[in-house]
Amino acid sequence: MTTCETLKLGLIGDNIARSRSPLLHRLAGEQNGVEVTYDRLVPKDMGQSFDEIFDACEGEGFRGINVTYPYKEIAAGKVEVDDPLMRAVGAVNTVIFGGARPKGFNTDYSGFMSAYRRVMGETPTGTVLMIGTGGVGRAVAFGLAGLGTRRLRLVDRDPAKAEALTEALKSVAPDMEISIWLSAEKAAEGCSGVINCTPVGMVGYEGTPVAPRAMTGAGWVFDAVYTPVHTQFLQAAGAAGLKLISGWELFFFQGVHAWSLFSGLGLDEVALRAALLEKGDAE
């Protein structure tokens, strides 16, 4: 548990000007009487590499950092990961400083599982299509394994990434049936769930990762993008009557889990959610 009155945190990533992580952690700090500073650290804006910023954080009093697109897999190579499952994920979104080596964690994995259960309860996932197998995609795929998914279809512009994820998943879910497809539209046929783990739909990357007509017959969708919350992908799925799991839910739960790692302190999740919504975070 933290004993300090201030907590220095940060986020390294691209295109994070609208990230609400600083707000979430400051509100979490207010609940616990801890002053939180949370810096946005954008390598291209700072004229530095990810490695330079990461190393500076370790030496400048940061308790920890979050890592987002496109640096999660790079971060995994710079930290010690104690949990064997997290090592298999191969992507890190939360780093704690202060020991002999930085410690790495993945709260996207646990955050996705919490987000799914909040919307879908104990409903089985069914056959799932996941588009995008980078850092967040790897975490979500392991979350699907934790939820008991039996059949998973993967689509990625880089088939080698999808193949690497398939091998990693087999180490923890040997009975999962995993296939790699070239066309998202074809892969969506017969799926219960459709997941976007690409930046498509994010501010600056407008569009949708799959044609709306391809989602006919599915039951639910998840979009890892949360800025904006109501992406074109989710809007199309909502119009088709599918249940929606927004990237905001993943953002919320990964943040709650990261806060626990950063501070060792608890949270009133209901109050935190209300405070975020009151401040227009989900608008």
**CA-to-CA separations, 102 to 105, 196, 202, in angstroms, rounded:** 10, 30, 30
The single residue listed with the structure tokens 């979050």 is 66
Largest CA distance in the chain: 54
* Domain map (residue ranges) of the chain: 6-106+249-278, 109-247
pLDDT digits (tens, 9 = 90+) for 100-141: 999 999 999 999 999 999 999 999 999 999 999 999 999 999
Domains 6-106+249-278 and 109-247 share a fold: yes
Identify the active-site residue in 69, 71, 116, 226.
71
Strands 103-105 and 94-96, sheet pairing: antiparallel
| Residue closest to 134 by CA, chosen among 105, 158, 107 | 158
The single residue listed with the structure tokens 């783990």 is 197
List of residues 6+ apart from 265 with CB closer than 8 A: 1, 2, 28, 32, 34, 259
Q: How confident is the model at residue 203 (pLDDT cuts 50, 70, 90)?
A: confident
pTM of the model: 0.92
CATH entry, 109-247, from 3.40.50.300, 3.90.1150.10, 3.40.720.10, 3.40.50.720: 3.40.50.720
The distance of Cα 222 from the centroid of its chain, to the nearest Å, equals 11
Percent of the chain scoring above 70 in pLDDT: 97
How far apart are the C-alpha atoms of 177 and 214, rounded to whole Å? 21
pLDDT digits (tens, 9 = 90+) for 53-75: 999 998 999 999 999 989 999 99
71 annotated active-site: yes
Name the CATH topology of 6-106+249-278: Rossmann fold (3.40.50)
